[in-house]
């Protein structure tokens, strides 16, 4: 599918899962090299940038939350010329879809307006990074729920939630780190005198700031998550230690009773109290007294 917006002398063409015919048509219209057409036609696993005399090409992968797998990467290909912007993607990206709606509304209200390709590129890229930031903020709210669950005695139930949040934040961080080098190279190429020139420097700062803000947000939430994981593990370990301690105390308190019962259960002659009236109660009393002495010893030592 092809969506097109024309602002003065500037054209934005957005390709969503284009057919080969649609792709070839757009590439031919703007004079794009067939090598780039081949790159767009199939997914590319890593970011990539190419600078040519009349345009620059960039591939970035933007992470997004996904219900079944936690996060997924959505590839967006950018081709930027002095008077056009081409974006290509393989699936619906909500941010770009919303931007199309905003453009349509602006065109209905204000009519066609003058624009520049550098302004258009800044708007698209900052919106994409803002969407990542919003996704990360959602993970931040999840961390608040994890913290509440940990301190409400739900340490075991939060183990999986912590792992899921950690995996999502790691994928956000990895994707943003992979943007660093190709994004810098791409923006530097657009700042040359042969392209947008020094006027683009302010746009570069805004795009970089949007990227860096999202990256720093991920880093801070990953640090919070590490602390929550350590806290949760400590509480789990403490609870397990308490259980083991209680079981050990019960076993030790029962040990004198077992010992007395074993002694009086021996098959020997002249066993005290065995043949006397009330012998059973005497032996039982000895067992209770021995256990009480052990219990009092633990109490004095403050072992429980």
- Give me the pLDDT at residue 107, please: 65
Locate the domains of the chain by residue range. Answer: 2-238, 245-301
- Give me the pLDDT at residue 274, please: 67
108-114: which pairs have CB atoms within 8 A and are 24 or more residues apart? 112/6, 112/7, 112/8, 113/7, 113/8, 114/7, 114/8, 114/9
Local confidence pLDDT in tens for the 304 residues of the chain: 888 877 778 888 888 888 888 888 888 888 888 888 888 888 888 888 888 888 889 988 888 776 555 677 888 889 888 888 888 888 877 788 788 787 777 666 655 555 788 888 888 889 888 888 888 888 888 888 888 888 887 877 788 888 888 888 888 888 889 888 999 888 888 888 778 888 888 888 998 999 999 999 999 988 888 888 888 788 778 777 777 777 777 777 777 778 777 777 776 666 776 667 777 777 778 778 888 888 787 777 776 6
Picking from 296, 158, 147, the residue whose alpha carbon sits closest to that of residue 221 is 147
Query: Would you identify the CATH topology of the domain 2-238?
Result: Beta Polymerase; domain 2 (3.30.460)
Query: Is 121 in contact with 194 (CB distance < 8 Å)?
Result: no
Q: E strands along 90-176, which residues?
A: none
Using the structure block, give the residue that is written with the tokens 């070839």.
Answer: 24
- Give me the pLDDT at residue 114, please: 53
Q: Give 253-270 pLDDT, tens digit per residue.
A: 777 778 777 777 776 666
**Token pair for residue 269?**
């002659």
Q: Please give the distance of CA 169 from its chain centroid, rounded to a whole number.
A: 2
The half-sphere exposure of 300 on its side-chain side, counting CA atoms within 13 A, is 6
Q: Give 64-112 pLDDT, tens digit per residue.
A: 776 555 677 888 889 888 888 888 888 877 788 788 787 777 666 655 5
**Token pair for residue 217?**
């947000």
């Amino acid at each position: 599918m092809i969506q097109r917006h024309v602002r003065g002398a500037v054209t934005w063409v957005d390709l969503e899962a284009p057919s080969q015919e649609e792709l070839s048509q757009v590439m031919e219209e703007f004079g794009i090299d067939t090598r780039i057409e081949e790159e767009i036609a199939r997914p590319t696993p890593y970011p990539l940038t190419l600078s040519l005399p009349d345009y620059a090409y960039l591939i970035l992968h933007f992470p997004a939350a996904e219900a079944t797998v936690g996060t997924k990467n959505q590839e967006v290909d950018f081709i930027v010329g002095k008077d056009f912007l081409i974006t290509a993607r393989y699936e619906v990206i909500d941010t770009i879809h919303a931007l199309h709606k905003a453009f349509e509304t602006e065109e209905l209200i204000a009519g066609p307006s003058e624009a520049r390709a550098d302004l258009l590129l800044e708007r698209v890229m900052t919106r994409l990074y803002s969407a990542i930031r919003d996704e990360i903020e959602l993970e931040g709210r999840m961390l608040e729920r994890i913290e509440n669950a940990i301190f409400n005695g739900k340490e075991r139930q939060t183990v999986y939630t912590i792992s899921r949040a950690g995996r999502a934040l790691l994928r956000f961080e990895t994707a943003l780190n992979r943007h660093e080098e190709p994004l810098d190279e791409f923006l530097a190429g657009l700042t040359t005198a042969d392209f947008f020139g020094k006027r683009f420097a302010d746009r570069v700062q805004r795009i970089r700031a949007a990227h860096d803000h999202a990256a720093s947000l991920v880093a801070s939430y990953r640090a919070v998550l590490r602390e929550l994981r350590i806290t949760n593990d400590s509480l789990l370990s403490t609870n397990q230690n308490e259980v083991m301690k209680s079981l050990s105390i019960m076993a030790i308190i029962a040990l004198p009773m077992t010992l007395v019962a074993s002694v009086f259960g021996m098959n020997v002659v002249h066993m005290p109290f065995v043949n006397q009236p009330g012998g059973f109660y005497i032996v039982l009393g000895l067992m209770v007294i021995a256990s009480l002495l052990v219990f009092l010893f633990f109490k004095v030592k403050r072992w429980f």
